[in-house]
């Protein structure tokens, strides 16, 4: 079945459609819930519970990670297509107070578990997540992202995230268009396609 996608709207158009005055309202905003509900929810879902694998879940994400990514969008350190199309314009309209407010809001939203997949694939992914790939020098994912993939500081929560989104991020780390996480760039270049798929399947199920 052919999928039909709505035309992309620019950041400015989205803000205008939401009835928000462009620069004054956002640069002075300190209400993360208001910004999230009026602007971010269009892609990331209500309370950050994205239902589309095109857009990451933000609920229960670490505030440090959200702040770091918005900075990366603003400074164009994240240059993948989705970042350019959706987030560069948005990030440019947020001042430090608005960024911190959004990060705090999403970090306090309840976590949601994703869908489980093939048991064999998930078991393989769990092994890599917990123990890494020693013969390739790949560290355990849990050593940075937490034993439950809950995230820690600027290392993001991965539990429950869309499998397709995780795989797309590994791809942009590999091709260099996402350049704000050198540890993941190194890991992405070491993982095979099958290993990446296994880890992503495991993480989505958490």
* 118 in Cβ contact with 21 (< 8 Å): no
6 is a domain residue = no
**Domain of 187?**
119-204
Last-in-domain residue among 56, 72, 107: 107
Residue 86's CATH number: 1.10.760.10
Concatenated DSSP letters for 31-82? -HHHHIIIIIHHHH-GGG---STTS---TT--HHHHHHHHHHHHTT-B-SHH
The β-bridge partners of 78 are 178
What mean pLDDT is predicted for residues 37-49?
95
pLDDT for the residue numbered 27: 43
38 is a domain residue = yes
Last-in-domain residue among 81, 107, 133: 107
pLDDT for the residue numbered 58: 98
pLDDT value at 24 more than 60: no
Tokens coding 121: 């694939």
- Does residue 72 sit in the same domain as residue 156? no
**pLDDT tens, residue by residue, 150-184:** 999 999 999 999 999 999 999 999 999 998 999 99
173 is a domain residue = yes
Length of the chain: 206
190 is a domain residue = yes
5 is a domain residue = no
Annotated binding site: 40, 43-44, 87, 141, 144-145, 184
Annotated binding site for heme c: 40, 43-44, 87, 141, 144-145, 184
Last-in-domain residue among 54, 77, 107: 107
- Does residue 101 sit in the same domain as residue 125? no
- Does residue 102 sit in the same domain as residue 137? no
């Amino acid at each position: 079945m052919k999928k039909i996608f709505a035309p992309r709207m620019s950041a400015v158009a989205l803000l205008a459609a939401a009835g928000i005055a462009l620069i004054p309202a956002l640069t002075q905003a300190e209400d993360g819930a208001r910004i999230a509900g009026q602007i971010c929810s269009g892609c990331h879902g209500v309370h950050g519970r994205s239902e589309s694998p095109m857009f990451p879940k933000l609920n229960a994400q670490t505030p440090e990670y959200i702040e770091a990514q918005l900075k990366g969008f603003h400074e164009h350190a994240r240059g993948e297509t989705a970042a350019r199309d959706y987030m560069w314009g948005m990030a440019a309209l947020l001042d430090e107070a608005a960024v911190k407010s959004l990060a705090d809001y999403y970090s306090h939203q309840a976590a949601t578990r994703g869908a489980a997949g093939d048991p064999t694939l998930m078991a393989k992914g769990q092994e890599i997540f917990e123990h890494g790939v020693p013969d390739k020098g790949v560290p355990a994912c849990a050593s940075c992202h937490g034993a439950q993939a809950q995230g820690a500081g600027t290392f993001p929560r991965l539990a429950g995230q869309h499998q397709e989104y995780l795989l797309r991020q590994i791809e942009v780390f590999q091709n260099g268009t996402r350049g704000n996480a050198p540890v993941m760039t190194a890991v992405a270049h070491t993982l095979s396609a099958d290993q990446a798929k296994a880890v992503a399947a495991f993480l989505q199920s958490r």
